[in-house]
Amino acid sequence: MLGTLREEKVFKDPVHKYVHVTSPVIWALINTREFQRLRRIRQLGTSFYTFHGAEHSRFSHSLGVYEVARRIIAQFERNRYPGWPREEGLLALAAALLHDLGHGPFSHSVESVFNVSHEDWTCRIIEGDTEVGRILAAVDPAFPRKVAQVIAKTYPETVVVNLISGQMDADRMDYLLRDAYFTGVNYGAFDLERILRVIRPHGGHIVVKESGMHAVEHYLMSRYQMYWQVYFHPVTRSSEIILRKIFQRAKELFAAGYRFAFLLDPLPKLFRGELAVEDFLRIDEPLMQTVMMRWTEEADPVLADLSARFVYRRLFKYTAVAGPDDPAVERMRERLAKRGLDPDYYTEVDYPTDKFYDMYKPGHPGTKSPILLLTEKGDVVEISEKSLVVSSISAGSQQQGTHYLYYPEEMTEEAV
């Protein structure tokens, strides 16, 4: 199964033009049930309610990450850079392809309610008794574990880890370009070929030639634009809030013994926290959408109303507030309570920072590995020491956010 396919396979891809597959292992992985399931999970969750083009799947993103990794590795090999371990090529490609395998439907919203983690599920699928697991084990019995380690960032060959998940990795490079393409927010695009020309494997890191600093600045500014224009868009946040509240309500009702008029297996196991791998793999976005569509007719008025809001896109409105303690928040909660609405389900103060730790914050313990510049003398320095633009984005990202109060506008009489 090692070696190369008799004839290269290609996928037509709007972002990278073609995705090229020559390894039979990669080809077999793509054709597994578990990988095909990613077609039924959107890359950007509920963002399609803000940007109607954003229906693209994690399947397409995963192929894209694989392709970016393949091009980076090809560039490293063509230039015979000493820092790249050639024997790790297949491992790196497999990890790139499979890194999102454990994403469930609308994962950012759902994970927080059920305390699950897509990284864990990814590793369980890879090391489990699955089609993917069997293909990997056929390469070498230790191979599934290695792939899981790369994804879990515990693999000792750190350059492989950093290729897949660093501050400027194949994952981010694909999703920025892809999300920009499908939303139509073209200011999120950056020049991938320019980046490929300036990166090098070096001391276990993927570093950037100092002369390529402006290319990295451009990449980071593209990321900055995507965060503010797309990922933190308040309409998307509104739909995520509603989705989260739907599942909070359903979980609460289930715990209280409520008899659902409609419920599909394996959701009870999800509510009880007892999902096995084979259960997990049956949950996808069509199932969740079908369930919520039916819940619009549930007897519980909160579940029914919130589900209808989501399905028919009757989202919460939002207004800027000073913070969670702004008196306007309490006033809104009281107004809703007077109308018989539970304020915990009908309001939320949101401040989009959860993804911000991805942005570079030097010295912060939770931060991802920094972007490093390789000077002409061969030294390595962290980019924010050289680039005022990067250091200011890092420093300033925290303070630019706005607290928004989300609420059901048509259920309130007066303006806030």
284 binds a copy of itself (CB under 8 A): yes
Contact with a copy of itself (CB under 8 A): which of 4, 18, 117, 134? Answer: 18
Q: Using CB under 8 A, count the residues that bind a copy of itself.
A: 65
- Based on the shown chain and the rule CB under 8 A, indicate whether residue 229 belongs to the binding site for a copy of itself: yes
Q: Which is nearer to a copy of itself, 49 or 271 (CB)?
A: 49
Tracing tokens 């390529």 back to the chain, one arrives at 212
Tokens (6 digits) for 98: 């499979």
Collapsed DSSP state (helix, strand, coil) of residue 260: coil
Q: Give the SS3 label for residue 361.
A: coil
**C-beta of 27 vs 204, nearer to a copy of itself:** 27
Strand-strand pairing, 317-321 and 199-202 = unpaired
CB contact at 8 A, 143 and 6: no
Q: Cα–Cα distance between 46 and 48 in angstroms, integer? A: 5
Residue 399 in contact with a copy of itself, rule: CB under 8 A = yes
- Give yes or no for a contact between 400 and 317, defined as CB atoms under 8 angstroms apart: no
Kindly state the smallest distance separating residue 158's Cβ from a copy of itself, in Å.
Answer: 27
Contact 58, 41 (CB under 8 A): yes
Instruction: Identify which of residues 154 and 392 has a Cβ nearer to a copy of itself in the complex.
Output: 392
* Shortest separation between residue 8's beta carbon and a copy of itself, angstroms: 8
Q: What is the DSSP letter of 210?
A: G
The answer to whether the CB of 197 falls within 8 A of the CB of 237 is no
Closest to a copy of itself by CB, 293 vs 411, is: 293
What is the Cβ-side half-sphere exposure of residue 416, based on CA atoms within 13 angstroms?
A: 21
Contacts of 27 (CB under 8 A, 6+ apart): 5, 9, 21
Binding string to a copy of itself for residues 41 to 80, with x set by CB under 8 A, is what? Answer: -------x--xxx-xxx-xx--x-----------------
Q: Which stretch binds a copy of itself (CB under 8 A): 65-73, 119-127, 137-145, 395-403?
A: 395-403
List the structure tokens of 354: 């959860």
**What is the amino acid identity at position 75?**
Q
Stretch that binds a copy of itself, among 189-197, 248-256, 350-358, 406-414 (CB under 8 A): 189-197
The residues that touch a copy of itself, with contacts defined as CB under 8 A, are 10-15, 17-18, 31, 33, 36, 39-40, 48, 51-53, 55-57, 59-60, 63, 181-187, 190-191, 193-194, 197, 214-215, 217-218, 221, 224-225, 228-229, 264, 282, 284-287, 289-290, 293, 311-313, 388-389, 391-393, 395-396, 399-400
